[in-house]
Chains A and B, each alone.
Chain A
Amino acid sequence: MMARRWLERLLPFRRLSAQGVMGMNRRNIAYISRYNPRRLYPLVDDKLKTKRLALSHGVTTPELLGIVEHQYEVVRVARLVSGLKNFCIKPAKGSGGKGILVVSRVDEGTFYRSNGQELALRDLERHVSNILAGLFSLSGAPDVAVIEALIEADEALLDYSYEGVPDVRVIVFRGFPVMAMMRLSCAASHGKANLHQGAVGVGIDIAGGGAVRAVQRDKPIRVHPDTGKDLLSLQVPQWQTLLELACACADMSGLGYLGVDLVLDRRRGPMLLELNARPGLTIQLANGAGLLPRLRLIERMEQVEQLSIAQRIAYVREHFAPAVLIDTAQIFSAA
């Protein structure tokens, strides 16, 4: 008896599962491999294919400025980027934000990255040829370099991010948006919005679009480490539109369990950044809630295909409001 209690304290697996936290193994077996048909992976693993798919469904994506497909075309990089004030170079099949080079300013032939690092044209060409050789792609397969226009972050979000554009990650399961977070780049993440590189993750109330809590490197934080802004004051603008867009993107991809990454552009509004067939688990930490209770609720539903996007969002708003908000609502009603 003592030994069992001692073991439980040492390895509190029970308390994790009581919170409904989903682990890596369960995600891989019970959700990704069950709900995501392998043949659909290329659609999301290749950003060019995602872009084409989005185009045919009328979903906005960042503007495509050029593609470099072969090594001999690398010299074209100079022509493709001439006259641009800013742009970014991405591998079409990159994963986890690897190989994304953001040039935020161009000055007399010198390219400045968002963190101020200076690059020459030669460095850009080397980066492109690394991409083509498959350095950043999932299995080292030959890849294609994509040059895209930079996104200009919505003004409401400017203060929450440092050196980069914040994006919204929505986990969509069987067409239902189940959990969301905002990813804010900071100095530690070198302007990238990838959590494992040190970006801040802010859990977003799926019902109202307000911040719930925030984490950096899996630890809770309260203010943005660079801008000092109170993270809990974050309210995502156009939340309803973003949710609708996330559902539409999930529907067009055909995947049952995916992460939809959206951005809010100052001029062009909500757009699709990329789709992810293997979304990470840190979103649970950012929200202070496990994914499993929500996933199980939706897993039990039948004939979800017949529900419209509006119906699904309504269902989610009703069932997945975070506990914290309910608490404040009670406080208000008591007052």
Chain B
Amino acid sequence: MRSHRTPVYLLVIVLLVAGTLLTWYRHAMFDVPWLPGEKRQIWSVEAQVDFVAFGKPVKASLAIPDSQPGFKRIGEHTASPGYGLAFVEHPSGRRAEWSIREAHGPQTLYYQVEMLVDPETREPRMETAPRLRPVHHDGPRATVANLILERARERSADPYTLARELIHEFNQQNQSASLLTQDKPRGAWLVDLLHMAGVPAREVQALNLEDGRRRQVPVSLLQVFDGENYQLLDMRSGRVVQRHDQLLWEYYSAPLLDVIGGRNSRAHFSMIEQEVPVNRMLEEGTFPTAQNLLDFSIHSLPLSEQALFKGILLIPVGVLIVSLLRILVGVRTSGTFMPVLIAIAFIQTSLLTGLAGFILIVGAGLMIRSYLSRLNLLLVARISAVIISVIVMIAVFSVLSFQLGLTEGLKITFFPMVILAWTIERMSILWEEEGPKEVLTQGGGSLLVALLAYVAMSNDVVRHLTFNFLGLQFVIMALVLLIGNYTGYRLLELRRFQPMIGERT
């Protein structure tokens, strides 16, 4: 009996030792702190430039950011095998310029920049207003432009409100505005009109900083100056955009990307937030990069993959909680690891929205399913029908909540739909066979486990630890193996076998 178990315990010990050592190594050698918070926040942003080359010399030029108010550039690198590279300071901003004599087929170039969040940083070039330039239009356009400007000026008090009112004019879809936009895009007209009114302004390309986002494209914002100060305005809504979550990527009205010798060129961006200890940053002036195999860390991957892993590395935590609750407590769930998937959805939707959405979809799904069961369909077709109705429901809920002004409701699309459809199918069978009580037990059990997994997975310390210490995955593995060996009673079995406890002692 003992000998049966020895390999398991050996493996557990090996995993525990390896995991602890790796974790300690990361902590001691790389100064990664145990807790989040005692460090500086760094945004790593990666630009990925894709284009198709057709065998000729290629020159690709990408606008790249510099230090700016709120952000200090502390490092940048590129990956572009075979290409010559130069960082060039133009009057129209910094640019990364790649060149190659001959290239064929799809090409990918990477540029990555580390921006330290630092409210102290100032950047004079960025903060000075562009020189006012004379604007000349002729014919009907000049008349229309003057008309719009006059209307907006009447309703405004200062440069910012003028810019806002101009955006409103464009939003009103009247004839005069659409006449203008036939000619030039809205952004160019807004800048022109503001210059006509004597207000310095320019169009800038900004990235909305959100941890773990991939395949982002920059948004155009309107930078409007009022003497020493400026504000950033969204060109569609006219709202003022918070500066601290926008990284300005290009602010000299130059093209973002310029490729000669290639076609279908585009740039998109991935970003993650990292926390780096202050002392380490002071020593090296940059953040650590992977050097050897022992520094086996996710940080050596391209940023878009890192962003992906930030989520994936949390799954073992959820799985551990499921094993704990099922084996030690004896909670019954519908579908073994379904709660983990729900918890992941909760992380993306935020808890309350997620809970409401889940109950709404499963509830409505059960009703639809009970009607479908009367139609006498084959199982696979019935589940397909449930999946389609779940998708339609999600679409309806999204549109409804958007119309009602609840943008939170849009997040309902993060739910794994096929899993939800199976859950609905299982629960409705359960309902028919065992009655609503069992549905509530298992549905409630699933939700409870999902909630606990959500609490653990959304915890800052847990996120910090799993992402920075890969060794902890071995520790979790060891724990799971240990739980798998537990032959004792489950907590809920105490209640089940209650009559046996009551008898004799």
* A residues with CB within 8 A of B: 11-13, 15-19, 21, 23-26, 29-30, 34, 71, 98, 122, 125-126, 129-130, 133-135, 196-197, 215, 218-220, 284-285, 288, 290
Q: What residues of chain B lie closer than 8 Å to A16, measured between beta carbons?
A: 489, 493-494, 497, 500-501
Complex contact B487–A25 (CB within 8 A): yes
Q: What residues of chain B lie closer than 8 Å to A26, measured between beta carbons?
A: 487-488
Listed by A's residue number, 8 A-B pairs whose Cβ atoms lie within 8 Å are A12-B494, A16-B493, A21-B493, A23-B488, A133-B379, A133-B380, A196-B434, A288-B500
Complex contact B378–A19 (CB within 8 A): no
B65-99 interface (Cβ within 8 A of A) = none
Q: Could you say which of B379, B491, B493, B498 contacts A134, with CB atoms under 8 Å apart?
A: B379
Complex contact B378–A133 (CB within 8 A): yes
Indicate whether A218 sits within 8 Å of B496 (C-beta atoms), given known contacts A23-B488, A135-B379.
yes
Q: What residues of chain B lie closer than 8 Å to A125, measured between beta carbons?
A: 376
Complex contact A219–B379 (CB within 8 A): no
Residue-wise, chain B 478-505 has the 8 Å CB interface mask toward A (1 for contact) of 0000000111111101101111110111
Q: How large is the interface on B (under 10, 10 to 19, 20 to 34, 35 or more residues)?
A: 20 to 34
Decide if B125 is an interface residue (CB 8 Å cutoff): no
Indicate whether A25 sits within 8 Å of B486 (C-beta atoms), given known contacts A130-B379, A133-B379, A135-B429.
yes
Complex contact A290–B487 (CB within 8 A): no
Complex contact A29–B489 (CB within 8 A): no
Closest to A31 in B: B487
In the complex, A17→B503 CA distance in Å?
A: 13
Q: Could you say which of A19, A30, A196 contacts B500, with CB atoms under 8 Å apart?
A: A19
* Shortest beta-carbon distance from B500 to chain A in Å: 5
Decide if B228 is an interface residue (CB 8 Å cutoff): no
Closest to A99 in B: B433
Decide if B330 is an interface residue (CB 8 Å cutoff): yes
Q: Could you say which of B378, B434, B489, B500 contacts A285, with CB atoms under 8 Å apart?
A: B500
Decide if B327 is an interface residue (CB 8 Å cutoff): yes
Q: What residues of chain A lie closer than 8 Å to B137, measured between beta carbons?
A: none
Decide if B131 is an interface residue (CB 8 Å cutoff): no
Decide if B136 is an interface residue (CB 8 Å cutoff): no
Closest to A17 in B: B489
Complex contact A126–B489 (CB within 8 A): no
In the complex, A134→B499 CA distance in Å?
A: 37
Q: What residues of chain B lie closer than 8 Å to A129, measured between beta carbons?
A: 378-379
Complex contact B376–A126 (CB within 8 A): yes
Interchain residue pairs A-B with the least CB separation, the first 6:
A133-B379, A23-B489, A26-B487, A126-B376, A15-B501, A23-B493
Decide if B4 is an interface residue (CB 8 Å cutoff): yes
Closest to A196 in B: B434
Q: What residues of chain B lie closer than 8 Å to A12, measured between beta carbons?
A: 494, 501
Q: What residues of chain A lie closer than 8 Å to B4, measured between beta carbons?
A: 34
Complex contact B376–A122 (CB within 8 A): yes
Complex contact B501–A25 (CB within 8 A): no
Closest to B484 in A: A29
Q: What residues of chain A lie closer than 8 Å to B500, measured between beta carbons?
A: 16, 19, 21, 284-285, 288, 290
Complex contact A71–B499 (CB within 8 A): no
In the complex, A98→B426 CA distance in Å?
A: 13
Residue-wise, chain B 422-436 has the 8 Å CB interface mask toward A (1 for contact) of 000000010001100
Complex contact B503–A98 (CB within 8 A): no
* Shortest beta-carbon distance from A93 to chain B in Å: 14
Closest to B375 in A: A126
In the complex, A109→B4 CA distance in Å?
A: 59
Q: Given contacts A12-B494, A133-B379, A133-B380, could you give 6 more A-B pairs where the C-beta distance is less than 8 Å? A: A19-B503, A21-B493, A129-B378, A130-B379, A133-B378, A285-B499
Q: What residues of chain A lie closer than 8 Å to B504, measured between beta carbons?
A: 19
Complex contact B485–A29 (CB within 8 A): yes
* Shortest beta-carbon distance from A187 to chain B in Å: 13
In the complex, A6→B501 CA distance in Å?
A: 16
In the complex, A114→B490 CA distance in Å?
A: 37
Chain B CB count within 10 A is highest, among A23, A98, A126, for: A23
Closest to A97 in B: B433
Complex contact A19–B429 (CB within 8 A): no
Complex contact A219–B330 (CB within 8 A): no
In the complex, A231→B353 CA distance in Å?
A: 52
Q: What residues of chain A lie closer than 8 Å to B429, measured between beta carbons?
A: 135
Complex contact A13–B376 (CB within 8 A): no
In the complex, A17→B378 CA distance in Å?
A: 48
Complex contact B379–A25 (CB within 8 A): no
In the complex, A126→B379 CA distance in Å?
A: 10
Complex contact B378–A71 (CB within 8 A): yes
Q: What residues of chain A lie closer than 8 Å to B496, measured between beta carbons?
A: 218, 285
* Shortest beta-carbon distance from B480 to chain A in Å: 14
Q: What residues of chain B lie closer than 8 Å to A219, measured between beta carbons?
A: 499
Indicate whether A24 sits within 8 Å of B490 (C-beta atoms), given known contacts A34-B4, A133-B380.
yes
Q: What residues of chain B lie closer than 8 Å to A15, measured between beta carbons?
A: 501, 505
Complex contact B327–A25 (CB within 8 A): yes
* Shortest beta-carbon distance from A64 to chain B in Å: 25
B339-389 interface (Cβ within 8 A of A) = 376, 378-380
* Shortest beta-carbon distance from B322 to chain A in Å: 15
In the complex, A65→B488 CA distance in Å?
A: 45
Complex contact A220–B499 (CB within 8 A): yes
In the complex, A134→B31 CA distance in Å?
A: 55
Complex contact B488–A215 (CB within 8 A): no
Q: Could you say which of B434, B493, B494 contacts A24, with CB atoms under 8 Å apart?
A: B493
* Shortest beta-carbon distance from A246 to chain B in Å: 24
Q: What residues of chain A lie closer than 8 Å to B487, measured between beta carbons?
A: 23, 25-26, 29-30
Q: Could you say which of B380, B486, B489 contacts A13, with CB atoms under 8 Å apart?
A: B489
In the complex, A135→B428 CA distance in Å?
A: 12
Complex contact B433–A98 (CB within 8 A): yes
Closest to B493 in A: A23
In the complex, A17→B497 CA distance in Å?
A: 11
* Shortest beta-carbon distance from B5 to chain A in Å: 9
In the complex, A317→B230 CA distance in Å?
A: 94
Q: What residues of chain A lie closer than 8 Å to B493, measured between beta carbons?
A: 16, 21, 23-24
Indicate whether A21 sits within 8 Å of B499 (C-beta atoms), given known contacts A34-B4, A197-B434.
no
Q: What residues of chain B lie closer than 8 Å to A290, measured between beta carbons?
A: 500
Q: What residues of chain A lie closer than 8 Å to B488, measured between beta carbons?
A: 13, 23, 25-26
Q: What residues of chain A lie closer than 8 Å to B434, measured between beta carbons?
A: 196-197
Complex contact A218–B499 (CB within 8 A): yes
In the complex, A130→B432 CA distance in Å?
A: 13
Q: What residues of chain A lie closer than 8 Å to B485, measured between beta carbons?
A: 29
Closest to B422 in A: A140
Q: Could you say which of B379, B494, B503 contacts A288, with CB atoms under 8 Å apart?
A: B503
Complex contact B489–A25 (CB within 8 A): yes
Chain A CB count within 10 A is highest, among B330, B434, B485, B491, for: B434
Closest to A26 in B: B487
In the complex, A21→B504 CA distance in Å?
A: 13
